[in-house]
Amino acid sequence: MIHPWSRAGLALCAAVAVFVPVPAPRPARSVYEFRHVTVVDVIHGTLLPDRNVIVRDNRIIAIRPGVAAASGDHLINASGRYLIPGLWDMHVHLAMTPDSMVGMIRRAREIYFPRYLAAGVTGVRDMGSWLDTITAIRRSVRDGTVLGPRIVMAGRLLGGKNPWAPLSPHAWVVTSAEEAKLAVDSLQRAGADFIKVHDLLSRNAYMAIAKAAREARLPLVGHLRPDVPVADVIAAGQVGFEHVGIELAAGCTNADTTRARAFYGAWIAHGWKAFVDETASIWADRDAGRCAAMFGQMREAGVRLTPTFVLRMQDSAMTFGQDELIASNAVNCRTAQGGWGALPDTLRAKYYRIEREIVRAAHDAGVAVMIGTDGPEWCLAPGISVIREMRELARAGLQPIDVLRAATLEPARFLKMTDSLGSIEPGKVADLVLLASNPLASLDALERPVGVMSNGRWLDVKALARMRDGANAAVRAIGTVRTRRAGTTP
């Protein structure tokens, strides 16, 4: 028997499946030329100084020595500047707020997209949203109605019955093989690029979803399961692991799923302190050989790890600069203070350290890592939080080139888009970020781009400033309306 809420979700999915995404129209025919720029080669980890990068429409058509004569209609003096591929945020939820469809679309158009582009983020992977809303948002970007990052999407995430929160339109409950098949097939018809699994799925439901995703030829990504060993998850075909937690720690011990299952009981009964304490205990008991074997399996299977460090850093306004607070969703910022945010600083610091150690061990074993934030909800300001996540990867021990690859090349590889994205080469789409200093020397270079090109559209430093200011004004206006409607003070 299909869960009633799941049936409603499937009906909605069928209703919006008629919206067939169309390619974005080609920009007005023109030629841009970045003169005397240093190209950052993310493939080889090198710098290519004094190059002229020529863009026609939305494609890079040539990269020439700086001595070559100018050939563009629009010449950009990039002497002393550095050019990198556009960045990706590989874990977002664009339409998950308790708002109307019109409200969520407005929030994306007026707040999220300007902020992403102003930070150099030209692509996002939506990991679960209201299906009709995210479909409409993606269509508006693809057809050129709205200027925003390119979007790949899961549609709605698939999870089990949630005892803590009411059922939400961004998620579907799956409890049987029948529901798994119907959900995956319906999401495929609605244009989903992959399938996202979430928490509280039974082992049987998870395996049924994995089977349906394989049959539909859709990549499977999402959370790990406490009752499914990492080796079984890999064998089932899951190629994206989201967040860093007790499941990976448990995979490095002899106890494996036994302790991870026990942890969930402790978490439900005792909350976040139990979460931190048990994770620390399991990680302390890790076996180097088992860790190496687990990470080796992940590497060979092409699994990507998206840590979302900043998700655990949203606990307090003290962790944010004023610019981030303005750019965040004020309503959700207040609700994000409980639970995790109530933990003492010492416990949060202990968990951060464990996360960084796990990611460093995975990276050193050859597991590819990608940048993702879980924003723009949870006080994670769009765009800004991507740069914060990149800094956290550096704190975990990754070199600047590896951090840059995690936001550019690795997403393109994962999405099988290296023919058009992920690096700066002739023939590729012109998603580009112009920086004032060398990002391989310091990630500080990423803080304030001096220009962004999104699908061939050039946004200079003044345009980026206007976008940031406009987004800040929209936050104040939209946030105030929602706060008053909720009956609380602004």
State residue 50's pLDDT score: 97
Among the listed ranges 47-61, 357-371, 372-386, which one has the minimum average pLDDT value?
372-386
Q: What percent of the chain has pLDDT over 70?
A: 80
Q: Which residues pair with 220 in a beta bridge?
A: 195, 238
- pLDDT confidence band for 269 (50 / 70 / 90): low
Listed in sequence order, the DSSP H helices in 63-170 are 101-107, 113-118, 131-142
Whether the CB-CB separation of 87 and 451 falls below 8 Å is answered with: no
pLDDT digit string, tens, across residues 74-116: 999 999 999 999 999 999 999 987 677 888 899 899 999 999 9
Which residue in 484, 119, 169, 105 sits closest to 330, CA to CA? 484
Is a pLDDT exceeding 50 seen at residue 336?
A: no
Question: The whole model's pTM is what?
Answer: 0.88
pLDDT tens-digit profile of 37-48? 999 999 999 999
Tell me the β-bridge partners of 367: none
18 pLDDT tier (thresholds 50, 70, 90)? very low
Domains of the chain: 5-16+86-414 (3.20.20.140), 31-85+424-464 (2.30.40.10)
Band (pLDDT 50/70/90 cuts) for residue 314 is low
